[in-house]
A and B are shown apart, each in its own frame.
Chain A
Amino acid sequence: MSTQAAVLLRFRNRPWIWSFLGAILVWALAVVLAGGHGAWPVFTTALAFSAFTVLVGLGQMFVITLGPGNIDLSLPANIGLASAVAMKVMDGADSRIALGLIAAIGAGLAIGVVNYLLIRLLRIPPLIATLSSSFVIRSVGISYGRGLQIKPPQAFADFVLARVGGISILAALVVLVSVLAGVVLARTIYGRSVLAVGQNIRAARLAGLPVRRVRLVTYALCGALGGLSGALLAGFTGGSSLDVGAEYLLTSIAVVVIGGTSVTGGMANVPGLWGAAFMLFMIATLLNSSGLGVGVRDLMTGLIIIAVITLAGGRRQLR
């Protein structure tokens, strides 16, 4: 019993281990159920899909790390709008890919800035600010993208879907982005400020940190990452769709929480995002291949998230 407790305690200090253990477990289960086949393809597919989850999750992680109450609920609407913007600006032409990417990131960035302005000027919790803005963004997206059936430029689709030896190029790039994000968090003034604000906003302010600027940059960053994901997803799925971001509301928060980032802020965990994204994808695959309906899948996803947060959450409060 006591050794168990010791192991548990050690795991608690490295919460991301859980997500990887879970992912490996579900992966093994999927492979066993498939009769020992498909271990590698399942892994590479998971890698390709997890790239998007992690990209969106990174932004959400920075926001959540800002402290209690900080959350971005406008991400799904943001992703939907950005996917439409990207496809419209690219207009199917290879020469306009960069322009489309910049436009999508710009749209996301603008949404992030507006979100922060709402939080700041109306003095409302981020939850409500991003919720209200998501209503508006959604309408903008619907009226902007109405009847939009533009295919992504061939080169863009090729790039997003490209694989070398089974490994998605995009996923490899997102791994690099994650490493960069980890370095930013741990080594830069901005990253340390995000953590400091999340641990104690008052102390951060008294210590002379530019709290407002840090929060502004973080919401803008999250928005921009959402915009980028929207553009990439449009390339991945062969066209823009407003609903392309719908699943990222829960997933973006879930991967952050499951990945061991403290929901009360002040402590972020980048590797955990990957473990959690893997795990969620594997679970979805497993439930899909088991022939269970979408109802059971939703049910299981919800229960797993609650179970994980019950096991891992809450206690790691810094005060």
Chain B
Amino acid sequence: MAAPVTMVAEEPQPTRRPAIDMRRLFRAALPALSLIIVLLAIDDFNPRAISYFGFNLMLNLAIPVALATAAQICIITVSDLDLSIGAYVGFIACVTATWLPTAPLLGVAVILGSIVVYGALGALVQLRQLPSIVVTLGMSFVWLGLALLVRPQPGGSSPDWLTNFMGLHVPYVPFPIVAAIVLAIALHFILIRTAFGAVLRGAGGNPSAVARSGWSLLRIKTTTYAMAGVFGSLAGLALVGVSSSADANMANGYTLLSIAGAILGGAEFIGGQVSPIGAVIGALTLQLAAVALNFFHMPVLLPGFRIPPEWQVGAQGLILILILAVRALINRGDA
């Protein structure tokens, strides 16, 4: 760690790891460590926030973000990237708030259709060997346009069952935390524990090897994209359940947040290395970091100083860069 940073090679070289790798351990613990640091900061700035109701309030919006991050993780698993997830969540939110309370059948049909479209995108990316970034960037406009058609003005309402579900009061543990744990375990099970998940990650690491051992890459990509569509739809539902109305642009920031959360959680961009539990923790951390910034004050050093609201976005970027820097430092010895 003492060597000058400029010595870092540009491309990761093949590595040989020792039996017990402290770096790897530290890297795996990084998301949890960041979460603890943010929690300590909140506790320091505003101790009352660390309570049942405090967490309910602070983490309310973390559920849709965590679900969007889950969607992004699916795509990252196959070494692609989804730049349309924010617009998609916004579209599903508009569909939910517009049709689910009054015309549930239509609403459900549209959501299911959208998931099929997502799967078809995966097939398109695979069949034509297209860069996922450009395709999903184009799709972000499609979803945004559709959302505006469904709901030109902000509004709509949340179906009662959805509001009730998102406002569920679980004894002792705030609902968002329960939801996050369930999501993390489910995602971990699907992507890490099942044979199917191993194939998906294999397709992200070495597609031709997976193809040669008889798996259909077409089917793999279609499935992962459709899974992303499912999680993205759940994110849209959850978002309406929390905010009880919808706006086409309401989730645009989710694209960046979901990528940031996945990275924070320890995903590698290529090679099918993902960490679902880390990603969910990463999403919670980002959400709490935004809250912590609101609370930020240092009476001794900077009396009366508050972080201006326009620095919220910048702070998220800085946190992301910081995390990546720490990771680069940890990885240094590996290369």
Chains A and B bind each other = yes
Interface residues of A, Cβ cutoff 8 Å to B: 68, 71, 118, 120-125, 127-128, 131-136, 138-140, 142-143, 146, 201, 211-212, 249-250, 253-254, 257, 263-264, 293-303, 305-306, 309-310, 313-315, 317
Enumerate 17 A-B pairs (CB-CB under 8 Å) in ascending A order.
A118-B321, A121-B5, A122-B324, A128-B320, A136-B318, A138-B313, A139-B310, A142-B313, A263-B130, A294-B148, A298-B145, A301-B145, A306-B124, A309-B134, A309-B135, A310-B124, A313-B128
B140:A135 contact, CB within 8 angstroms = no
B259:A136 contact, CB within 8 angstroms = no
Beyond A132-B324, A136-B314, A296-B149, whether A250 also contacts B137 by CB under 8 A is yes
Distance, CA A134 to CA B130, complexed state (A): 25
Report which of B138, B140, B311 forms a contact with A139, defined as CB distance below 8 A. Answer: B311
Distance, CA A87 to CA B254, complexed state (A): 32
Distance, CA A250 to CA B315, complexed state (A): 24
B245 contacts partner chain A, Cβ-Cβ < 8 Å: no
Report which of B81, B141, B149 forms a contact with A293, defined as CB distance below 8 A. Answer: B149
* Residues of chain B with a CB closer than 8 A to A306's CB: 124, 135, 138-139, 142
B146 contacts partner chain A, Cβ-Cβ < 8 Å: yes
Q: Which residue of B lies closest to A68 (CB)?
A: B131
* Residues of chain A with a CB closer than 8 A to B81's CB: 127
* Residues of chain B with a CB closer than 8 A to A310's CB: 124, 128, 130
Q: In the complex, what's the smallest C-beta–C-beta distance from B90 to chain A, in angstroms?
A: 12
Given A299-B145, A309-B138, A314-B128; 20 other pairs, CB 8 A cutoff: A118-B321, A121-B325, A122-B321, A123-B9, A123-B10, A127-B81, A128-B269, A135-B313, A136-B314, A140-B314, A263-B131, A293-B148, A295-B145, A296-B145, A298-B144, A299-B142, A305-B134, A310-B130, A313-B129, A314-B131
A299:B141 contact, CB within 8 angstroms = yes
Beyond A128-B324, A138-B313, A143-B310, whether A313 also contacts B130 by CB under 8 A is yes
Distance, CA A309 to CA B248, complexed state (A): 26
* Residues of chain B with a CB closer than 8 A to A250's CB: 137-138, 140-141
Interface residues of B in 88-143 (CB under 8 A from A): 124, 128-131, 133-135, 137-143
Report which of A140, A305, A315 forms a contact with B141, defined as CB distance below 8 A. Answer: A305
B8:A143 contact, CB within 8 angstroms = no
B243 contacts partner chain A, Cβ-Cβ < 8 Å: no
Q: Which residue of A lies closest to B308 (CB)?
A: A143
Q: In the complex, what's the smallest C-beta–C-beta distance from B287 to chain A, in angstroms?
A: 15
Distance, CA A128 to CA B130, complexed state (A): 19
* Residues of chain B with a CB closer than 8 A to A118's CB: 321, 324
Interface residues of B in 129-187 (CB under 8 A from A): 129-131, 133-135, 137-149, 152
B317:A134 contact, CB within 8 angstroms = yes
A298:B142 contact, CB within 8 angstroms = yes
B263 contacts partner chain A, Cβ-Cβ < 8 Å: yes
Main secondary structure of the interface of A (DSSP, over half): helix
Beyond A135-B256, A313-B134, A314-B129, whether A295 also contacts B152 by CB under 8 A is yes
B12 contacts partner chain A, Cβ-Cβ < 8 Å: yes
Report which of A123, A135, A309, A313 forms a contact with B328, defined as CB distance below 8 A. Answer: A123
Q: In the complex, what's the smallest C-beta–C-beta distance from A115 to chain B, in angstroms?
A: 11
Q: In the complex, what's the smallest C-beta–C-beta distance from A120 to chain B, in angstroms?
A: 6
Report which of B134, B141, B327 forms a contact with A301, defined as CB distance below 8 A. Answer: B141
- Scan B237-257; emit 1 where CB is below 8 A from any A CB, else 0: 000000000001000000010
Distance, CA A127 to CA B12, complexed state (A): 17
A123:B8 contact, CB within 8 angstroms = yes
A139:B313 contact, CB within 8 angstroms = yes
Distance, CA A128 to CA B260, complexed state (A): 9
Beyond A122-B328, A139-B313, whether A253 also contacts B141 by CB under 8 A is no
B142:A125 contact, CB within 8 angstroms = no
A121:B310 contact, CB within 8 angstroms = no
B316 contacts partner chain A, Cβ-Cβ < 8 Å: yes
A139:B269 contact, CB within 8 angstroms = no
* Residues of chain A with a CB closer than 8 A to B318's CB: 135-136
* Residues of chain A with a CB closer than 8 A to B314's CB: 135-136, 138-140
B137:A132 contact, CB within 8 angstroms = no
A128:B317 contact, CB within 8 angstroms = no
A123:B148 contact, CB within 8 angstroms = no
Distance, CA A249 to CA B137, complexed state (A): 9
- Scan B1-37; emit 1 where CB is below 8 A from any A CB, else 0: 0000110111110000000000000000000000000
B294 contacts partner chain A, Cβ-Cβ < 8 Å: no
* Residues of chain B with a CB closer than 8 A to A71's CB: 133
Distance, CA A316 to CA B25, complexed state (A): 42
